[in-house]
Structure 1
Amino acid sequence: MASTRRFRVTFDCAEPERLARSWCEVSGCVVPPPQGFATWDGVDRPLPPEDRGAWFACGDPSGVGPRLFFRRVPEGKAVKNRLHPDVRVGTGLVGAERLAAFEAECARLAPLQAVRVRLLHDDDSRLVMQDVEGNELCLD
């Protein structure tokens, strides 16, 4: 019998904590300290200065959804993501109601420095956005 495997989604980025906290607002995830640590400072304190803040993570408060993991990489984002998250805000809605849900979520994400890219009307409308580091996401 097949079993469901737990997985995480990893973001390569310049500022792990900043991007993680932004995605927490988008997704409703929480930022508990890693297992075995009372705080995130406890993770970083023993590390050499150049390694501090090299990664950050957040997860579904119920423990059901995937963990989001953010790790610092030296290179910047150069091309379109091959994989991107869809934020499901219009499920079950059609027409003007669906577009209104996209616009409301877009307005909620704007203070997080998320940027509207374009509205796509094809087999299933969606609003393409970028997070604070330019990673694509869709409001779906």
Structure 2
Amino acid sequence: MGLDVQFTFDCADPAKLAAFWAEALDYRVQGPPDGFDSWEQALTAFGVPPERHNDASAVVDPEGAGPRLFFQRVPEPKRVKNRVHLDVRAAPGLTGDARMAALEEAADRLVARGASRVARHEPAPPLGAGHLIMTDPEGNEFCLD
């Protein structure tokens, strides 16, 4: 039996962060269980009080190939730099100016969705292709590479 992997994010607003990462990765917010038209309808049927409807959310790869990302509400804010981060491959196969232009275009799109730019690292051949360091709307670091 093969193993499956899921990445879990602690956060303050699971729905908002799920929407951001769905956009960033070309994923989709995971739909409700069979028999329900919405998560609100499902959670209400399960007896979950309205104030807890945003306790969790998830996004999935529409092709079914990539890992699921799960977002769970926690009471404490993010305090330190992530020890693990996601690299979003926004310019596969590109080099030099074309690569950096593609990364900048992706960064602009994500900044409009609530991300922040942290740093730009220029190409430094032979090993450094260039990348951008970003944070999501709750301050989780990720790279556009």
The TM-score, its normalising length taken from structure 2, stands at 0.87
CA distance, structure 2, for counterparts of residue 94 and residue 11 of structure 1: 31
Q: Secondary structure at the match of 2:112?
A: helix
* Shift of residue 43, structure 1, vs aligned partner: 3.6
Residue 87 of structure 2 corresponds to 86
Give yes or no for contact 1:44–1:53 (8 Å, CA) kept in 2.
no
Gapped regions of structure 1 (runs ≥ 5): none
Moved more, 61-70 or 36-45: 36-45
Of 9, 23, 26, which aligns to 1:25?
23
Runs of 4+ in 1 over 4 A off after TM superposition: none
Identity score, percent? 44
Give yes or no for contact 2:33–2:42 (8 Å, CA) kept in 1.
no
* Shift of residue 5, structure 1, vs aligned partner: 1.7
Of 8, 11, 14, which aligns to 1:10?
8
CA distance, structure 1, for counterparts of residue 88 and residue 2 of structure 2: 22
RMSD: 1.6
AA aligned opposite 2:20: S
* Shift of residue 20, structure 1, vs aligned partner: 0.2
AA aligned opposite 1:44: L
Of 130, 133, 136, which aligns to 1:131?
136
For residues 103-122 of structure 1, what are the alpha-carbon distances to aligned partners after superposition, in whole Å with 9 as ceiling and x for unaligned? 11111111101111001245
Q: Secondary structure at the match of 2:120?
A: strand
Give yes or no for contact 2:40–2:53 (8 Å, CA) kept in 1.
no
Gapped regions of structure 2 (runs ≥ 5): none
Please give the residue correspondences for 1:1-140 in structure 2 after superposition, counting only pairs within 5 Å.
4-36=2-34, 38=36, 39-45=38-44, 46-121=47-122, 123-124=127-128, 125-140=130-145
Moved more, 35-44 or 12-21: 35-44
CA distance, structure 2, for counterparts of residue 107 and residue 137 of structure 1: 15
CA distance, structure 2, for counterparts of residue 56 and residue 20 of structure 1: 6
